[in-house]
Structure 1
């Protein structure tokens, strides 16, 4: 099982797999299926591998997240542990400015408990994480770089979800500091054509991987998400 075999049609977008131990940014506006995409990739991948992963949701409770996934036909693998915001509130009465370190410590502790078979993590989302921090942009970039380098050394494949505040089109190449820190960028968006709106997926970059850079339609089927070639 490869990461690109976890969603129907995704292996048409990629000629080779998403490299393990890389940091992948999944970015897009609200409603573009960022959480569903990331969750399905990890859950389906881990279900077929003798590996484990951690999905951290900072915006929804575990229950709400699972309800949302179930509504899209996305199943949960028992090998993917979900940790929501309330888990951290139980452990820490007050969030410090060093929340990144707290997250890093908990992720490393999770791997210590599971062992070397813990290979994948996802943070949903960076925007929610940033809202809890009171850090200057320059210091934030340094802290993010340090945390992501730790994840690479620990041989995690890391998925970071980032919601854009604006609805960007396919002609908008903008990406914040996260794009420079990530090995790959998967853009999910909405393309408006008259009164019709299509969700699309486009791989902006993926180091050490061969892939299409064209947009592909992303839709919800009765068995989760599906990717196919369309006309834009």
Structure 2
């Protein structure tokens, strides 16, 4: 199973698979299916692999998250462990000063507990993580880079969800300051044509991978998300 075989039509966007060990930003405004897209990729991939994954949710509780996935026809693989941040709140009455270090250690501990069979990771979302850390922005990005680089060297394929404040058009080439973290950027958005809005996905970049640069329609079916070529 390849990552690009996990969503119907995604293998038409990519000629080759997302390289394992990559760090991929999944960006977009609210309502563009960032969590659903990333969850389906990991869950379907893990269902066919002798591997495990970790989905760290920093905004929604586990049960709400699962209900949202179920409403979109997305199934949960038992090999994908969901860790919501209430786990950390129960263990630690106050957030430690170096929250990134705590998060990194918990992720690496989970990997060790699976005898290094945990190969995939999602952090949902980067904005929520930033909101819990009260340090200067430049220093925060340095620490974030060090943590992500640790995951890269561990061979973890890491998806980081980054919510944008506004709906950006398909002609907007900005990727945000966090682009420096990533080997790949998957943009999810909304395209408006008159009174009709279509969700779309586009690959901004993906190192060591052949892929389309055009937008593709992203839709919800009874059996999860689907990607197909559309007229914009």
> Under a length normalisation based on structure 1, what TM-score does the superposition of the two structures give?
0.99
How far apart are residue 98 of structure 1 and its match?
1.1
Within 1, Cα distance between the matches of 2:97 and 2:68? 30
Query: Structure 2 stretches of 5 or more lacking a match?
Result: none
Q: How many residue pairs were aligned?
A: 232
CA distance in 2, matches of 1:193, 1:44: 32
Distance 2:32 2:61 in 1: 20
CA contact (8 A) 1:28 1:163 kept: yes
Which residue of structure 2 aligns with residue 28 of structure 1? 28
Describe the SS at the equivalent of 1:149: helix
Match of 2:84 in 1: 84
Find out whether 1:115 has 2:115 as its counterpart: yes
- Residue 6 (structure 1) aligned with residue 9 (structure 2): no
Report what 2:93 is aligned to. Answer: 93
Greater shift, 155-164 or 140-149, is seen at 140-149
Structure 1, residues 10-54: CA drift from partner, whole Å, max 9, x if none? 000000000100000000000000000000000000000000000
Corresponding position of 2:189: 189
Q: In the alignment, is the contact (CA less than 8 A) between 1:141 and 1:177 conserved in 2? A: no
Distance of 2:91 and 2:155 partners within structure 1: 26
Q: Secondary structure at the match of 2:214?
A: coil
Structure 1 Cα separation of the partners of residues 161 and 224 of structure 2: 19
Where does residue 74 of structure 2 map in the other structure? 74
Q: Which residue matches 1:167?
A: 167
**3-state DSSP of counterpart to 1:218:** strand
